[in-house]
């Protein structure tokens, strides 16, 4: 909680090296939920790179019991405690500090530092949680070796875990026991972790490619041991993949994953002891969907890959967060794609990435919290674990690979580790390694790190039939963003192909280009504000396929005709652009229909959808040569959020009505084809989460959802039967969602679902989430759901399932004309803030785009923002978000 008057902004330019370096840390814990004693012995020495002789330690929400310097107790006059910093002035060159503190884990509802979840102890230290455990120079450029002694009641906490290797364990008498852990690698404090709990594990010995044997463990609560197989399999796949793709080996003899039900984010890469939200560990066919399985694979991979990109090489300061996060997201994306193995499967993962970017990152980059991939300032670092730092950061890393090629990228990675293993470095160091390993000048590329906002690339083309030249003229601009008015040109790789009238890729000859002869895709490097690229020997006017594979995180403007888009939609060899052509066709129509609905006062009477579009949808739906997963993506219309981003003044109700009209019309026009595909894409037999089966289920369930927009008796029956007979959660929940969304009586099914899964917390989250996101659920219904005994604000997954799904996945109800949902938002931002500021601040982001709504809504949103901002007791987390929303 904020104690001083105004929060402080931290600037990247103010970085100074630490005055003291830490060699070793010895921690002793006497674990007790109400009163845990932490003894900390730090060996420090003066940093030659600093002139300061002041030891600066951080500490929050802990009680200082004793402080000794080189064996001598310091009197309160010999150090300075100011807010959360403790300073010892003019310290000796070598210092051994002994610090004893107290904390109360059971009262820690922020889930940062040491806390209790379902009676067990866990820690979360990134970014600045270690200071809630003990006084320490809690900054990532201070790396040290840790030894940890854990003491706790044996009956209540039979399992005692920390980073690295278990070197000793035993009894203490009094029913207590101990375990001593040693981490052989230097690490920053944010990677420290401990677990003291009643848990069980699935474990396995695994042989690395080098022949070394390691112990792998997945720790869960007793009843969940039937849900650990997929996490274990994903861990083994991750280990193998990092060896093969990047030559990176697991550096410990033991690697542990622990699942916890109360967790602020997805998971955490603590050295050798990854701690996970249960959502990203627990799965079996009964309780987890295909999307859950994919999430587990990705997050297990992500945290494992951090062992090299994040832990062995870490960040100098938190402004460099994308150094580890952007790179590690890129690595987990490539891992998931490689696990599918096929080109079409790869494309499906790529399309999903583009959707995430448009749905979440583009809006962030155009809103009040817009920041560069490497921010220049922050109030609360927890607010900068964003889609920009993670997903746009991954796009930036992907662009290196696009520019220097896969082998060149590997060379850059090798050089990065050769130079920086064991160090805390900057984004610039990664860029330098990529440039130096490939002999490339990547100075201009730095702007991807320093400039915020989504660049807009505009393309024009001209064809000279006599000279057989085809020119693509690319220009770029980037809108002003929060705190950044003028932007310089970016270094943008634009992958391009040209299609003939018959839909074939033309072999390309780029004037001055260095590409392989006969190539059908070339990467244009746009570095200036405007550039002309000339293709020679082009015998007919081609249809350009621009930004293939989404080669840069930009908005592409090109004046495509409907005919050109239809041509690309049926022929483009690049699946991402093929999908993209369909999205453009749909978006044009959605925007027109939305305008018509708005003009008609919200009514969909008289709306029409052209046969051309429906025919194109039919063609994709019934094309059995296409991957089912691809067909599903090609048939999903742009989301209401993505449509909203295209409008100057957003009318959420009109968008919803228009999109529903389009879905209803497609559902009616393609009824027989949808039914055929529904039956053709069944996956009988034992459940398997593989990409092909998951794709079939996705397509089948999309068919069902179209049939259920305005269902007749037979269609209702289909959904009911699927619900009753489903052998897996994917099909069961899809059937239930289709019933809820259709407005048909879903009550008995919701009830049955609840009773079946009453003891599966993650499934009950789904039960809340699907109701919260249904356009038939208004704010009153959400408030009623909050009265349900299973609802609690204290568990982040549960709070998110109901509140966040309503405020961010149900736009037509959230933006109800009377503003009642905005009041609801304000009320729960405030309530959550008193419990968990990190979670509250995420909810607060739900009002980011308030300036884009019609004046009547804007005024109500502003009022809600002001209500929150005006509270006397607000965390820095929430204060930063609402202050920026009101200011920009």
Question: Residue 97 and residue 117: Cα distance in Å, rounded?
Answer: 31
Q: If residue 705 lies in a helix (H) or strand (E), which one and from where to where?
A: helix 691-707
Residue 265 contact among Zn ion, ligand TRP, none, beta carbon within 5 to 8 Å by kind: ligand TRP
Residue 126 contact among ligand TRP, Zn ion, none, beta carbon within 5 to 8 Å by kind: ligand TRP
Q: Which of 175, 147, 172 is nearest to 162 (CA)?
A: 147
Residue 268 contact among Zn ion, ligand TRP, none, beta carbon within 5 to 8 Å by kind: ligand TRP
Question: Residue 449 and residue 371: Cα distance in Å, rounded?
Answer: 10
- Closest CB to ligand TRP among residues 268, 773: 268
- Closest CB to ligand TRP among residues 314, 810: 314
What would the x/- binding string for ligand TRP be over residues 340 to 379, using CB under 6 A? ----------------------------------------
What would the x/- binding string for ligand TRP be over residues 108 to 127, using CB under 6 A? ----------------x-xx
Q: Which of 198, 3, 61, 217 is nearest to 119 (CA)?
A: 198
Residue 278 beta carbon to ligand TRP: minimum distance, rounded to whole angstroms:
13
Question: Residue 659 and residue 656: Cα distance in Å, rounded?
Answer: 5
Residue 482 beta carbon to ligand TRP: minimum distance, rounded to whole angstroms:
23
Residues of this chain, 255-274, that bind ligand TRP according to CB under 6 A: 264-265, 267-269
Decide if 125 contacts 311 (C-beta within 8 A).
no
CA-based R_g, the chain, Å: 28
Decide if 524 contacts 474 (C-beta within 8 A).
yes
Residue 257 beta carbon to ligand TRP: minimum distance, rounded to whole angstroms:
12
- Closest CB to ligand TRP among residues 257, 437: 257
- Closest CB to ligand TRP among residues 141, 303: 303
Decide if 420 contacts 386 (C-beta within 8 A).
no
Question: Residue 71 and residue 76: Cα distance in Å, rounded?
Answer: 16
- Closest CB to ligand TRP among residues 728, 836: 836
Question: Encoding tokens for residue 663?
Answer: 């879905």
From residue 311, how far is each of 417, 432, 820 by CA, in Å? 12, 20, 46
- Closest CB to ligand TRP among residues 91, 396: 396
- Closest CB to Zn ion among residues 325, 765: 325
- Closest CB to ligand TRP among residues 130, 241: 130
User: Torsions phi, psi of 462, nearest 5?
Assistant: -145, 145
User: Torsions phi, psi of 633, nearest 5?
Assistant: -65, -35
Task: Out of 128, 269, 303, 580, pick the active-site residue.
Answer: 303
Residue 393 beta carbon to Zn ion: minimum distance, rounded to whole angstroms:
10
Residue 124 contact among ligand TRP, Zn ion, none, beta carbon within 5 to 8 Å by kind: ligand TRP
Q: Does 715 bind ligand TRP (CB under 6 A)?
A: no
- Closest CB to ligand TRP among residues 303, 572: 303
Strand partners, 207: 213
- Closest CB to Zn ion among residues 325, 549: 325
Question: Residue 70 and residue 575: Cα distance in Å, rounded?
Answer: 65
Residue 126 beta carbon to ligand TRP: minimum distance, rounded to whole angstroms:
4
Residue 265 beta carbon to ligand TRP: minimum distance, rounded to whole angstroms:
3
463 class by beta-carbon count within 10 Å (0-12 exposed, 13-18 middle, 19+ buried):
middle
User: Torsions phi, psi of 869, nearest 5?
Assistant: -60, -25
Residue 320 beta carbon to Zn ion: minimum distance, rounded to whole angstroms:
13
From residue 702, how far is each of 233, 371, 654, 663, 723 by CA, in Å? 29, 36, 23, 11, 15
How many CA atoms within 13 Å lie on the side-chain side of 664? 15
User: Torsions phi, psi of 42, nearest 5?
Assistant: -115, 130
Q: Which of 303, 580, 632, 640 binds ligand TRP (CB under 6 A)?
A: 303
What would the x/- binding string for ligand TRP be over residues 127 to 166, using CB under 6 A? x---------------------------------------
How many CA atoms within 13 Å lie on the side-chain side of 450? 17
Residue 786 beta carbon to ligand TRP: minimum distance, rounded to whole angstroms:
25
CA 603 to chain centre: 37
363 class by beta-carbon count within 10 Å (0-12 exposed, 13-18 middle, 19+ buried):
buried
Residue 324 beta carbon to ligand TRP: minimum distance, rounded to whole angstroms:
8
Residue 390 beta carbon to ligand TRP: minimum distance, rounded to whole angstroms:
7
What would the x/- binding string for Zn ion be over residues 776 to 795, using CB under 5 A? --------------------
SS3 content of the chain, % helix, strand, coil (to 5): 45, 20, 35
Question: Residue 457 and residue 546: Cα distance in Å, rounded?
Answer: 10
Exposure string of 224-255, with b = 16+ CB inside 10 Å and e = fewer, is bbebbebbbebbebbbebbeeebebebebebb
Decide if 267 contacts 709 (C-beta within 8 A).
no
Residue 48 beta carbon to Zn ion: minimum distance, rounded to whole angstroms:
32
Question: Residue 697 and residue 293: Cα distance in Å, rounded?
Answer: 13
Residue 399 contact among ligand TRP, Zn ion, none, beta carbon within 5 to 8 Å by kind: none
Q: Does 385 bind ligand TRP (CB under 6 A)?
A: yes
Q: Does 325 bind ligand TRP (CB under 6 A)?
A: yes
Residue 267 contact among ligand TRP, Zn ion, none, beta carbon within 5 to 8 Å by kind: ligand TRP
Q: Which residues contact 226 (CB under 8 A, 6 or more apart)?
A: 284
- Closest CB to ligand TRP among residues 61, 182: 61
Task: Note if 580 is an active site residue.
Answer: no
Residues of this chain, 314-373, that bind Zn ion according to CB under 5 A: 325, 328
Question: Encoding tokens for residue 405?
Answer: 């090629």
Question: Encoding tokens for residue 589?
Answer: 């129509």
Count of residues in the chain: 888
Count of residues that interact with ligand TRP, criterion CB under 6 A: 12
Residue 596 contact among Zn ion, ligand TRP, none, beta carbon within 5 to 8 Å by kind: none
Count of residues that interact with Zn ion, criterion CB under 5 A: 2
3-class SS at 515? coil
- Closest CB to ligand TRP among residues 179, 268: 268
Residue 512 beta carbon to Zn ion: minimum distance, rounded to whole angstroms:
40
In eight-state DSSP terms, residue 516 is: P
The residue nearest ligand TRP at its CB is 265
Active site residues: 303
Residues in touch with Zn ion (CB under 5 A): 325, 328
Residues in touch with ligand TRP (CB under 6 A): 124, 126-127, 264-265, 267-269, 302-303, 325, 385
């Amino acid at each position: 909680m904020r104690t001083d008057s105004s929060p402080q902004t931290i600037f990247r330019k103010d970085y100074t090296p630490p005055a003291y370096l830490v060699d070793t840390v010895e921690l002793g814990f006497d674990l007790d939920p109400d009163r845990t004693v932490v003894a900390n012995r730090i060996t420090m020495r003066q940093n030659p790179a600093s002139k300061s002789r002041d030891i600066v330690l951080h500490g929050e929400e802990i009680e200082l019991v004793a402080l000794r310097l080189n064996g001598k107790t310091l009197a309160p006059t010999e150090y300075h405690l100011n807010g959360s910093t403790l300073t010892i002035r003019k310290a000796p060159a070598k210092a051994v500090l002994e610090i004893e503190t107290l904390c109360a884990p059971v009262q820690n509802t922020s889930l940062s530092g040491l806390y209790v979840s379902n009676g067990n102890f866990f820690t979360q230290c990134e970014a600045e949680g270690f200071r809630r455990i003990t006084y320490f120079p809690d900054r990532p450029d201070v790396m040290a070796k840790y030894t940890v002694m854990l003491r706790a009641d044996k009956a209540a906490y039979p399992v005692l875990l920390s980073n690295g290797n278990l070197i000793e364990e035993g009894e203490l008498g009094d029913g207590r026991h101990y375990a001593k852990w040693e981490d052989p690698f230097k690490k920053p404090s944010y990677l420290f972790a401990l677990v003291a709990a009643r848990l069980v594990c699935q474990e396995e010995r695994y042989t690395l490619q080098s022949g070394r044997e390691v112990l792998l463990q997945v720790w869960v609560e007793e009843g969940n041991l039937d849900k650990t197989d997929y996490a274990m399999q994903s861990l083994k796949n991750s280990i193998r993949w990092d060896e093969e793709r990047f030559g990176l080996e697991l550096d410990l003899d033991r690697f542990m994953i622990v699942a916890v039900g109360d967790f602020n984010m997805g998971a955490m890469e603590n050295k050798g002891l990854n701690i996970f939200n249960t959502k990203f560990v627990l799965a079996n066919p009964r309780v987890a969907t295909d999307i859950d399985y994919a999430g587990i694979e990705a997050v297990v991979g992500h945290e494992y890959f951090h062992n090299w990109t994040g832990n062995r090489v870490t960040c100098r300061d938190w402004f460099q967060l994308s150094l580890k996060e952007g790179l590690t997201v890129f690595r987990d994306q490539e891992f998931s794609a490689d696990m599918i193995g096929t080109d079409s499967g790869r494309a499906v993962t790529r399309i999903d990435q583009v959707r995430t970017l448009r749905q979440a990152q583009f809006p962030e980059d155009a809103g009040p919290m817009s920041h560069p991939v490497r921010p220049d300032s922050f109030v609360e670092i927890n607010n900068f674990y964003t889609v920009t730092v993670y997903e746009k950061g991954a796009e930036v890393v992907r662009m290196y690979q696009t520019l220097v090629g896969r082998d060149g990228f590997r060379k850059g990675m090798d050089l990065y580790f050769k130079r920086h293993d064991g160090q805390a470095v900057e984004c610039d160091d990664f860029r330098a390694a990529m440039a130096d390993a490939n002999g490339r000048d990547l100075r201009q590329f730095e702007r991807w790190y320093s400039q915020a906002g989504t660049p807009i690339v505009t393309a024009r083309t001209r064809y000279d039939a006599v000279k057989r030249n085809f020119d693509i003229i690319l220009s770029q601009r980037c809108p002003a963003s929060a705190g950044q008015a003028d932007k310089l040109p970016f270094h943008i790789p634009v992958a391009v192909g040209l299609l003939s009238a018959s839909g074939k890729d033309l072999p390309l000859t780029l004037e001055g280009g260095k590409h392989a002869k006969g190539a059908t895709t070339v990467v244009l490097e746009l570095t200036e504000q405007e550039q002309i690229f000339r293709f020679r020997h082009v015998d007919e006017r081609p249809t350009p396929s621009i930004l293939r594979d989404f080669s840069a995180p930009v908005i592409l403007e090109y004046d495509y005709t409907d005919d050109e888009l239809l041509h690309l939609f049926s022929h483009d060899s690049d699946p991402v652009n093929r999908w993209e052509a369909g999205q453009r066709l749909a978006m044009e129509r959605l925007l027109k229909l939305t305008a018509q609905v708005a003009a008609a006062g919200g009514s969909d009477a008289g709306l029409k959808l052209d046969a051309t579009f429906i025919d194109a949808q039919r063609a994709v739906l019934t094309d059995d040569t296409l991957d089912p997963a691809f067909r599903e993506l090609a048939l999903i219309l742009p989301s209401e959020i993505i449509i909203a981003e295209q409008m100057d003044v957003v009318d959420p109700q009109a968008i919803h009505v228009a999109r529903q009209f389009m879905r209803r019309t497609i559902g009616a026009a393609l009824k027989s084809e949808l039914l055929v595909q529904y039956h053709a894409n069944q996956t009988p037999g034992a459940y398997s989460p593989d990409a092909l089966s998951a794709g079939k289920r996705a397509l089948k369930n999309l068919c069902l959802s179209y049939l259920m927009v305005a269902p007749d008796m037979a269609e209702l029956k289909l959904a009911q039967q699927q619900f009753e007979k489903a052998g897996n959660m994917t099909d069961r929940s899809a059937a239930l969602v289709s019933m809820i969304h259709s407005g048909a009586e879903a009550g008995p099914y919701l009830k049955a679902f609840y009773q079946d899964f009453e003891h599966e917390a993650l499934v009950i989250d789904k039960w809340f989430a699907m109701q919260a996101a249904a356009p038939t659920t208004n704010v009153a219904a959400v408030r009623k759901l909050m009265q349900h005994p299973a609802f609690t604000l204290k568990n982040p997954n549960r709070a998110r399932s109901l509140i966040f799904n309503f405020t961010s996945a149900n736009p037509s109800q959230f933006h109800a004309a009377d503003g009642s949902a905005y009041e609801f938002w304000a009320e729960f931002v405030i309530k959550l803030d008193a419990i968990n500021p990190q979670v509250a601040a995420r909810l607060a982001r739900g009002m980011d785009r308030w300036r884009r709504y019609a004046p009547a809504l804007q005024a109500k949103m502003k009022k809600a923002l002001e209500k929150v901002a005006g509270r006397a007791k607000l965390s820095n987390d929430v204060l930063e978000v609402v202050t920026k929303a009101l200011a920009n």
